[in-house]
Amino acid sequence: MDIKIHKEGEFQFVDEGKGNVILLLHGLFGALSNWIGVVRHFSKKYRVLIPMLPIYEMNMKKPDLEGLVDFLEKFIAFKDINEMILMGNSLGGHLGLIYTLRHQHMHMVRQLVLTGSSGLFENSMGGSFPRRGSYEYIKERVEYTFFHPETAKKELVDEVFDTTRSIPKCLKIVSIAKSAQRHNMAKDITRIKVPTLLIWGLNDTITPPMVAHEFNNLIPNSKLRFIDNCCHAPMMEYPDKFNKILENNLIT
């Protein structure tokens, strides 16, 4: 299936299927296409929504986590979503944690799902910020996200490379990455009451398995599932395994 991107007002998003809402949040270098396996599988029984986060394309007064969460709140209000399964990868998981803490008293989030989430520790881009102008460097850094480097298709590398060629986009990326690194949530996430599912790559080099265990220890009502021979984006590297774990642990 091709993912259709809708445009309404200031928002660009995917909206597939009908039923209970699963809302997906991509990471710093992520794209809507990162979730295509989840959309294909779950849009048969659920309504799957993916907002395009305004990391570098749309105007945002505050290029930091707070600005992104403010945007997410506006999108959820715009789509009139009252209850959902909220799932995020990498930076998207970090946003999901903040949103959940802000709104769990309103029962906006039925279940939180994190995969390779930042919020405790993240080795961004393998320990360095994006270097402009070197395609081979960007290719190496994108491949670093996966246990199997061939998962990083040329289209994905091209997309990241084009992004890093823009000075304004790089500045926003660095600003948001630094905001995420400063915003450690170890003391906050102990207050999360929402059932939380952690799906992690056992070979994640960006948010290593110890990070997953720490999330599991700190979030009271959480369960952790690992996928072997898998790095930072399990939903891309092993979509079938990821979907099976998710389906078997969703709260309906």
69-83 average pLDDT score:
95
Hey, which CATH number is domain 6-123+183-249, 3.40.50.12780, 3.40.50.10420, 3.40.50.1820, 3.20.20.10?
A: 3.40.50.1820
Under 8 Å between Cβ of 36 and 3: yes
Other CB atoms within 10 A of residue 187 CB: 8
Quickly tell me which residue has 């039923």 as its tokens.
19
Quickly tell me which residue has 């945007």 as its tokens.
71
Half-sphere exposure of 94 (CA within 13 A, CB side): 28
Q: Which two tokens stand for residue 5?
A: 């991107």
Give dist(CA 43, CA 64) in Å, integer: 31
- CA 203 from chain centre, in angstroms, equals 18
Under 8 Å between Cβ of 24 and 30: no
pLDDT at 39 over 60: yes
pLDDT of residue 133: 66
Q: What is the DSSP string of 148-162?
A: SGGGS-HHHHHHHHH
List the domain boundaries for the chain: 6-123+183-249
pTM of the predicted structure, to 2 decimals? 0.91
Considering only 104-113, 137-146, 194-203, which range has the smallest mean pLDDT? 137-146
Under 8 Å between Cβ of 67 and 61: yes
pLDDT digits (tens, 9 = 90+) for 126-181: 444 455 568 888 888 888 899 998 988 888 888 888 877 877 777 777 778 888 88
Q: Which ranges in 52-208 belong to alpha helices (H)?
A: 65-78, 91-103, 135-143, 154-164, 167-182
